[in-house]
Structure formats: C-alpha cells, structure tokens
A and B are shown apart, each in its own frame.
Chain A
Amino acid sequence: MPVRVLIPGPLRSYTSESSVVAASGESLAAIVDELDQRYPGIRFRIIDEQGAIRRHIKFFVNGVQAMNLQPRLQDDDEVMIVCALSGG
C-alpha cells in the first residue's frame, strides 16, 4: 500500500531533511520497518525494543491516533509521526 509519511523535525536528520516521504506497507509496523531499511536507526528512536511506540512519539493515520503499530493501511493513506510535547 503506497502511503505518505510526514516526518517531524527531530527525525529529518535521517531523511535528508525531507518532511514527507513515500513508503509502502500493509500496516504501520511494515511502514516503520521500511523506513528503517531506508533510514537506518530511525526505528529505534521512535519504537522501543519491546515494540512499543516511545513515550513522546505519536502516530496518526489520516488524522486518527494509532496507539500501536497494528493498524492496517490503505492506498494513499497519510501517516503522520508526531513528537509530542516534551519540555525542559
């Protein structure tokens, strides 16, 4: 499933400063894995070793928050990765 992935500022060092990248996969998990293949290291910055989304990271699919990486994706979905509020 080809989708658009919106990359937040703190992760753009991995995407050569691109704010939007194209990816393909049937689920959020597949998209994250593909991103990590293309941009090594990006996964571990946003997903921990137990497979959970890190505390200050949020995923939205077409504007709806995904609480884990299981949601299935459709063609042309928009995946937004957000760095949530984290002060100090």
Chain B
Amino acid sequence: MAQANAARERRLTLLVSTRKGLWRAQGDATRRSWKLSGPQFLGHIIHHCVADPRDGKTWLVAARTGHLGPTIFRSSDRGRSWHEAKQPPALRECSGRVVDLTFWLTQGHSSQPGTWYAGTSPQGLFRSDDAGATWRGIDGFNEHPQRKSWCGGDQDQTPDGAKLHSVLIDPRDANHLYIAMSSGGVFESNDAGAGWHPLNRGVRADFLPMPDPEFGHDPHCVRLHPAAPDRLYQQNHCGIYRLDRPSDRWEDLSAAMPRSVGAIGFPMVLHPGDPDTLWVFPMDGSSVWPRVSPGGKPAVYRSVNGGKSWQRQATGLPKLQAWFTVKRQAMTADALAPAGVYFGTTSGEVWGSRDEGRSWKCLAAHLPHIYAIEVA
C-alpha cells in the first residue's frame, strides 16, 4: 500500500498555458508516458497557470482574450472547477494606468497560506491574501516616485509589452522579495514591498548609452534557488548571470557559452536540489533578433558548476530545420530524482526529459503557441 501511494504521489501534471487555452499533461509513475487533456478556457490567452504546493489543490490562471480584459481564475480542486477572481489585479484610478494582462503568478511564502503575488503588463505588482479571490496593488512599487524612471516609457518596452515577472520570495524571510522587469531590471525589497532598490550591478545593458546604468536592464528570467536562497541566476537580454548574496554585483557567465550559440535566451531552470545545476534554452539574438533556435538546431544547455561551463543537451531533439524557441515561463523542472526537465515551444510542442536533460522526448504536439509550463 505504501508503495502504491508513493507511486501515485510521483504522478505529475504539467500545466500547459497557451495562446488559446489551458491543457494539462498527466504523467505515469515512471514519467515515460503522458496523457494530454483539455482544453480548458478554450480561446482564452493563458499567460500563466500555477499550482500551489502549500496546499496541493489550489491552481491560479492568469487569462484574458483578444477582446476582453484581464482576469484571474481560481480552482481549489486541482482544476476540476474554476471561479473568477472577485477583484482581479487593477491599478489605482488615480494612476491613469491600466493593467493590460497579468503575466506572472507566484505563490507566497510558506508561512503565509493563501498569499500570492502577480506581476502585470505594463509593470505592476499585486498581492492576494485570499488565494487569488481579491488582489490589491503593492503601492510601495506601483506608486513609487521613481517607478516611471525605473520602467521607462513606451520606447523602452519589449515588443509585446512591458512586464513585471520573476517575483521571488526568500524562503527564510517572507518580507524579502525580488522582482524583475522587462524592461527595468531587477529590484529588491526587504520590507514586504514597501520599499525597493535596484539590484543590477554587473549586468550589461548594451541597448542603453550609459556603460553601467543603475536600472533599465532587460532581465528575461530570474530564479532564486530554494535550497540556497543566497544564490540567484538570471537569463538576461545581455547574457547569463549569477549573484551570490550578500554581494550586489552579478557575475557575467556568458563567455562560458559556445560563441556560435550565444548566451541569449528567455527561460532558466534550476535543479531542485543542487544550486550549481541549471538549464537554459538559447535562442538566436543576433542581428534583428530572430528569436528562434540558433541555426534551426534546438538544444538545452546545462551547467553543473554554477555556470562556469555548459554542456549541450540535444539528444532526442530535432537535429535541423526546427525553428521554435521557448518563452521565459515555458521551461520547468520537477522535484524528483533524477530531476525531470520540461519545456514548451512556440510551435506548440511539449518536450520532457526524465534524466536531467540527457535525453528528450516529445510529450505532446500540435498545441497552440505555448506561453508557460508548470508542474503540479
């Protein structure tokens, strides 16, 4: 009985957020076989669906449609039924600004059940203390007198809209937060969001005229290692970086990547148990930024030494003429041993590895453009 329960517990669900709805892939106990189900919210643009590991049953979805404004849907039964938020993230009337979409969802600290954070486009930070039913803006950021300087104007924004993402909570201190903005850079708060300061020293911003700006950078994805929370990694518009606190200067790891591939990409995934192991999915950021796999040869790159060197992991992936790429929320890892790694492509395929990236298998195909993948 204990073995059966353990096997059942190892069955994972991948939450696949796409431009046209939400799908889920249910794995068997070995992670070899996956069954696709869905869609839910067909026709909705699902920017992020996240499961709450604190209670094992709450899922939140950030959704909008081409016509309708943004909202949050909540499930307290692992996606069987959904309820819309009573008060989705919305900026203050006096701000003159409008939330175009909720882009990022992060569950709060383990000591604060029911607390969630949301990052929006344009850049806004929100918090819910009732499992996503109602949301309030974090004024310490949204109304900060320097917010406009940090975020820049329309010409500073990424092609599909400025966004606040990578909301990270220090597992040792619920008041210690990090956020990242494209564009704007990485910022830190030590008081639960009441005050913020930039944290971008050492990070290049080649698209700005000044050599070492305090903010205005373009972090694509920032991760904090849950078992070693002084270790952060960053996949940036201008390379790959690591930060070991209390230092406030990021170390540029870009040169360790093969020159022919480059160090530009969007997602970044950390090994659940080893702070020195991480994965990235490089893309072509040359010339006009084609945003495809370099040379049409997709590959994951893994480092097992904190980014000092990288190994190409492409066994099982298409060898040529495959021009997809992977968005910043569309790559994740499970917490099993060996770790499973998963990514979803702009061409609607879900790929998975049950051996930490050594070999890959296509788990699902023909889905819409994939925006995010999370493990439930």
Contacts and interface: CB of A to CB of B under 8 A. Distances in A.
B66 interface: yes
B69 interface: yes
Given A40-B84, A40-B86, A56 B67 contact: yes
Interface in B80-105: 84-86, 88, 90-93, 96-99
Interface residues of A, number: 22
A83 interface: yes
B84 to A, nearest CB: 5
A52 to B, nearest CB: 8
B68 A11 contact: yes
A48 B91 CA distance: 9
Contacts of B66: 56, 86-88
B128 interface: no
Contacts of A57: 67-68
* Residue of B43, B69, B71, B85 with most partner-chain A CB within 10 A: B69
Contacts of B43: 10
Nearest to B73: A41
B68 A41 contact: no
B65 interface: yes
Contact of A84 (B67, B92, B99): B67
Interface in A29-73: 40-41, 44-52, 54, 56-57
A40 B85 CA distance: 9
Nearest to B65: A10
A41 B86 contact: yes
B93 A83 contact: no
A45 B68 contact: yes
Nearest to A86: B66
Given A40-B84, A50-B98, A88-B66, A45 B71 contact: yes
Contacts of A52: 98
A44 B96 contact: no
A8 B66 CA distance: 14
A66 B189 CA distance: 44
Contacts of A45: 68-69, 71
Contacts of A41: 71, 84-86, 88
Contact of B67 (A44, A47, A49, A86): A86
Contacts of A47: 69
B68 A49 contact: no
B69 A44 contact: yes
B81 to A, nearest CB: 14
Interface string B40-81: 000100000000000000000000011111010000000000
Given A40-B84, A41-B84, A46 B68 contact: yes
Given A50-B96, A87-B66, A44 B90 contact: yes
A51 B93 contact: yes
B93 A50 contact: yes
A57 B68 CA distance: 8
Nearest to B66: A86
Given A44-B69, A86-B67, A87-B66, A49 B84 contact: no
B71 A49 contact: no
* Residue of A49, A54, A83, A86 with most partner-chain B CB within 10 A: A49
24 contacts: A10-B65, A11-B68, A41-B71, A41-B84, A41-B85, A41-B86, A44-B69, A44-B71, A45-B69, A47-B69, A48-B69, A48-B90, A48-B98, A49-B91, A49-B92, A49-B98, A50-B96, A50-B98, A51-B93, A54-B67, A54-B69, A56-B66, A83-B68, A88-B66
Interface of B: 43, 65-69, 71, 84-86, 88, 90-93, 96-99
By Cβ-Cβ distance, the 3 closest A-B pairs, closest first, are: A86-B66, A83-B67, A45-B68
